[in-house]
Structures are given as structure tokens and as C-alpha cells.
Amino acid sequence: MVTKPPDPDVDLVEGCQTASEPPPSVAQAILHSAVRHLDAHGVAGFRIERVLRDANASQGSLRYYFTNREGLIRAAEFERYLRLGMAERAELLELMDHVATNDEFCGFVAVQLTRIATDPAAIAMRRSRVSVYANALDRPELQAAINWLQDGYLALQTEFIERAQARGMINPDLNVYDYAAFFHGLALSRTFIEGTVDDPARWLAIAIPAATAPLRLP
């Protein structure tokens, strides 16, 4: 587990500006264009010339800010992961205000799993997150940064579950961090079997009881 963020004075992605300095507008334009192209085409279809054309930037700017294609991909993947985490953070905090009992909390979990399995926006977000993970497997710098973000994401989910536990809504003996990690893995697992178990109801029939059983009050 990563317990602290990378040093803000050390590059998170090789060739980029340091995290303590906001990137200039040219770098931002290249990065945002790269994120759009990764979302649309993936790494295999990622074309530097198209990214730079859309960003109205030059090869010299690419080399100056990101070193090369690989450095830009690492930076863009990091940015994609960060955006996904921030979007889910706001949603969790808002939903917590509407949960008060064990049944309501378990119902909330069931609704979230249903959304994860059936909502087009949630499906796209889930697939994008899996794509970020996969593309980081052979990129140690990106993987280290994502591990840190992942730890922060699980800490947020843990805080959400701890609030419910403190209010007596769920099993008081539950290890909330381990549960958060389990739930996150369960949600992502839907991505890997969508092609073979194409009916989400079949997956939900197993996933919902598995996710809610540890939450039940003794």
C-alpha cells in the first residue's frame, strides 16, 4: 500500500513539469488532446500527429514537456485516472446524506452495483479505469502514481463506509478498508466477463448478495 503521495518536487511522469508547477497552456492543450484521443482510440490507435494537430502544438512542444510519445501517454493515463476518481468522490459524499438504516445502506450498495453494470456512463467509466490499469502494467512511473491515487480512492470509500459504521448502520466488526477494496474489485470484475455473461441481471444476482452480506447487522 502506498501511504504518501509522490514528492511534489519530483516528476510523477518522466519528462513532464514537476507537480509543484502548473503546466503552461501549451502542455495543458497537448495533455487534454491526448486524453480525448486515448478515450476515443485507446493506446493502439493513439497518433501523435493527430494529438498535436488538435492541440495546435508542435513536435518541439511534445519533446519539451513530455519527452516522447511514451511520456505523453503516461501523463494522459495519469490524468484520466485522476478525473475518474474526482467524479466518484463528489457522488459518494452527496449520496451519504440520504442513507440512514442498514436496509437503506444495503439498498444503496445494490443500486450502485446495478448502475455499475447497466448505466452507459458508469460502464464507460469502469472500462476506462480498467484501461488505465492495463496500460500502467509495464509503465513503472505511471503505476506508482496510480497506486497512490488508488490508495486515496480506497481511503475515500473507507471513510464513506466508516461513517455508516459509526452511525450503527452496518456490521460493527467489518474491516471497512478490506471491504472497500473488495467492493472496488467486484465492480471492476464486471468488465472482464461482459462478453461471456452479457445479461447484467445474472451478474447482479450473485454480486449484490455477495456485496451486502458482510454489511448486515449481527
| pLDDT tens figures, 85-108 | 777 777 777 777 788 899 999 999
Q: Please write the tens of the pLDDT for every residue from 21-78.
A: 434 588 889 989 999 999 899 888 999 999 999 999 999 989 888 888 988 988 888 7
Domain membership flag for residue 64? no
CA distances from 197 to 76, 129, 170, 205 (A): 31, 20, 31, 12
- In this prediction the pTM is 0.70
Domain membership flag for residue 148? yes
- Residue 146: domain span: 78-215
Looking at this protein, which amino acid is placed at residue 42?
Answer: G
**105, 99 in Cβ contact below 8 A?**
yes
Domain membership flag for residue 116? yes
Grid-cell match 461471456, residue found: 196
Domain membership flag for residue 32? no
H-helix segments, 119-139? 120-136
Number of domains present in the structure of the chain = 1
**96, 157 in Cβ contact below 8 A?**
no
Model pLDDT, residue 101: 94
**149, 179 in Cβ contact below 8 A?**
no
Domain membership flag for residue 187? yes
Q: Which residues contact 96 (CB under 8 A, 6 or more apart)?
A: 160, 163, 164
Domain membership flag for residue 24? no
The CA distance from 145 to 37, in Å, is 21
Domain membership flag for residue 47? no
Domain membership flag for residue 5? no
CATH of the domain at 192: 1.10.357
The CA distance from 58 to 48, in Å, is 10
Residue 16's pLDDT band, with cuts at 50, 70 and 90, is very low
- What is the length of the chain? 218
Q: Please write the tens of the pLDDT for every residue from 152-202.
A: 778 888 988 998 999 999 999 999 999 999 999 999 999 999 999 999 999
The CA distance from 24 to 1, in Å, is 32
